[in-house]
Chain A
């Protein structure tokens, strides 16, 4: 027998947490829908490699499935993978992290970012976020109960963080500083001496540094520098890294966090109650990539470097001034001279010439007046895109 009852109209919105409801929507989302409607647009808007994961890595994963690797793993990640990460980090940064208690394998770097904030922030704690930057830091801080304090990096400083830019944002509630170099969206890097220039301030205010180094391997001048390499700084730095960009493995969702055993332990606590562990097949692939993937990794980096020169010189030639991006795979040209806002420029460029770029303001207010163009796309498309942008500029 069906029981009938009088029920007031269902109001789903009332059941969403205030924090989530008030979270600003991603500026990328609207643009994504716009581009998706367009047929045959050339997209310079993609934040991932255009290479497919190298075959030897895919093959290793297939073999692991054939061999029956389908179970959970240790919360921290497979011991072999943590060993491989330790060796890789030692080779790249010269730093020692104990695979036993200083390394946590996460489901992509995104999870590691989230864990770092949740494990360290108390309600009301402030985190300094230099912008323009990747879009997830601010919402992740809010979700962790923290308060983001965005600061602007400027083109005149090469989009680097300086002591002068941090100083005014520091209060007694400041708990941490986010560094994300090589930077998405600007392609800027911070050299060792750039990092040294802010170290005293970090120590003076006892800040934790959360350093997202996922583009570290894609550094085109010199080698990547990490804040953790500075004398006495490794304890107060959580390095977040992963294989998505360096090894063209975005869809595998393998990231990792390196740091002080207590901090990694705190992150692991959340990880074990939420994610449990990263997928074992992805971990098996990551082991292969770290142990035998150097040649393929360097080949891809070399190709990005060729495209970088081609594209950046092209932008400057057609009249969109662009500082030399020294890392990642983005160019961040200025469109201030056109008098258009970033969004207006991007939208008109898409409608009139079918080239998709991402408006700079999506990455923070200080990105206004710029565009993010990813050169992780084929040379032919880059050349065609430059032609179309030139035509667009001529008609303005």
Chain B
């Protein structure tokens, strides 16, 4: 795995100088490679993982499972791409199993999310059925455990 990507995936704020020190490379060299990764679209965006519950911002999340009736001329892509354009939608994934698409939606309230699904998603051409699962509590997001307790301390000096 690309070592720069690995470091940035854990800490988007790592500077080229810091990354260079970790990898034993020059800062210029690292900065150039990051630029290339950004330009080629491998790096899409630098975001922050926030525990919204703790921030008391009161967002409501739901996972919507969709069954899609495929049209002869269009595959899953056209429905999925239409859904992805809504700003309420956080992620859209084609999945295996009982359903076809898994969509994460964020809203201000349960009512908000429910109406969004009813008014914007369900009526879309090709969408056969929807099933909305509200998220009650998040334990781990993007590889970060949100419920972790502080690590026990080690002895300060050991042989």
Could you list which residues of chain A lie within 8 angstroms of chain B, going by C-beta atoms? 26, 28, 31-32, 35-36, 41, 43, 45-48, 50, 52, 134-136, 184, 306-307, 309-310, 313-314, 356, 358, 362, 379, 383
- Residues 1-38 (chain B) with a chain A CB within 8 angstroms: 7, 18, 21-24
B159 touches A47 (CB 8 A): yes
Q: Does B49 contact A (CB under 8 A)?
A: no
Extra contacts, 5 of them, besides A48-B158, A309-B22 (Cβ < 8 A), are: A26-B159, A32-B155, A36-B156, A136-B159, A306-B23
A314 touches B151 (CB 8 A): no
Which residue in A52, A310, A313, A356 is a CB contact (below 8 Å) of B157? A356
Q: Does B111 contact A (CB under 8 A)?
A: no
How far apart are B159's CB and chain A's nearest CB, in angstroms? Answer: 5
Using CB atoms, name the residue of chain A closest to B22: A306
A48–B22 CA distance with the chains assembled, in angstroms? 21
A309 touches B21 (CB 8 A): yes
Contacts of A309 in B (CB 8 A): 21-24
Contacts of A50 in B (CB 8 A): 154
Contacts A309-B22, A309-B23, A379-B22 hold; do A28 and B151 have CB atoms under 8 A apart? Answer: no
A/B interface sample: 30 pairs, CB < 8 A: A28-B157, A28-B158, A28-B159, A32-B157, A35-B156, A45-B157, A45-B158, A46-B154, A46-B156, A46-B158, A47-B158, A48-B158, A52-B151, A135-B159, A306-B23, A309-B21, A309-B22, A309-B23, A309-B24, A310-B18, A310-B21, A310-B22, A313-B21, A313-B24, A356-B157, A358-B157, A362-B159, A379-B18, A379-B22, A383-B18
A306–B24 CA distance with the chains assembled, in angstroms? 8
A45–B24 CA distance with the chains assembled, in angstroms? 24
A134 touches B24 (CB 8 A): no
A196–B85 CA distance with the chains assembled, in angstroms? 67
Contacts of A32 in B (CB 8 A): 155-157
Contacts A309-B23, A310-B22 hold; do A356 and B156 have CB atoms under 8 A apart? Answer: yes
Contacts of A362 in B (CB 8 A): 159
A43–B154 CA distance with the chains assembled, in angstroms? 10
How far apart are B140's CB and chain A's nearest CB, in angstroms? Answer: 12
- Residues 139-159 (chain B) with a chain A CB within 8 angstroms: 151, 154-159
How far apart are B156's CB and chain A's nearest CB, in angstroms? Answer: 5
A31–B159 CA distance with the chains assembled, in angstroms? 11
Using CB atoms, name the residue of chain A closest to B14: A379
How many residues on chain B are close to A (CB under 8 Å)? 13
B21 touches A314 (CB 8 A): yes
A43 touches B157 (CB 8 A): yes
A28–B157 CA distance with the chains assembled, in angstroms? 7
How far apart are A141's CB and chain B's nearest CB, in angstroms? Answer: 16
How far apart are A36's CB and chain B's nearest CB, in angstroms? Answer: 6
B156 touches A48 (CB 8 A): no
How far apart are A295's CB and chain B's nearest CB, in angstroms? Answer: 13
Contacts of B159 in A (CB 8 A): 26, 28, 47, 134-136, 184, 362
Contacts A306-B23, A313-B21 hold; do A41 and B154 have CB atoms under 8 A apart? Answer: no
How far apart are A79's CB and chain B's nearest CB, in angstroms? Answer: 32
Which residue in B24, B151, B157 is a CB contact (below 8 Å) of A46? B157
Using CB atoms, name the residue of chain B closest to A55: B145
A26–B158 CA distance with the chains assembled, in angstroms? 11
Using CB atoms, name the residue of chain B closest to A45: B157
How far apart are B51's CB and chain A's nearest CB, in angstroms? Answer: 20
A306–B10 CA distance with the chains assembled, in angstroms? 13
A113–B23 CA distance with the chains assembled, in angstroms? 36
Q: Which 8 A-B pairs have the closest CB atoms?
A: A45-B157, A306-B22, A32-B157, A47-B158, A309-B24, A310-B21, A43-B156, A35-B156
Contacts of B7 in A (CB 8 A): 306
How far apart are B3's CB and chain A's nearest CB, in angstroms? Answer: 8
How far apart are B13's CB and chain A's nearest CB, in angstroms? Answer: 11
Using CB atoms, name the residue of chain B closest to A185: B159
Contacts of A45 in B (CB 8 A): 156-158
Using CB atoms, name the residue of chain A closest to B158: A47
A383–B7 CA distance with the chains assembled, in angstroms? 16
How far apart are B149's CB and chain A's nearest CB, in angstroms? Answer: 11
B156 touches A41 (CB 8 A): yes
How far apart are A221's CB and chain B's nearest CB, in angstroms? Answer: 12
Most A CB atoms within 10 A — which of B7, B23, B151, B156? B156
Contacts of A28 in B (CB 8 A): 157-159
How far apart are A129's CB and chain B's nearest CB, in angstroms? Answer: 15
How far apart are B96's CB and chain A's nearest CB, in angstroms? Answer: 25
How far apart are B12's CB and chain A's nearest CB, in angstroms? Answer: 15
Using CB atoms, name the residue of chain B closest to A50: B154
Contacts of A306 in B (CB 8 A): 7, 22-23
A46–B158 CA distance with the chains assembled, in angstroms? 5
B157 touches A31 (CB 8 A): yes
Contacts of B22 in A (CB 8 A): 306-307, 309-310, 379
How far apart are B4's CB and chain A's nearest CB, in angstroms? Answer: 11
How far apart are A323's CB and chain B's nearest CB, in angstroms? Answer: 15
How far apart are B118's CB and chain A's nearest CB, in angstroms? Answer: 41
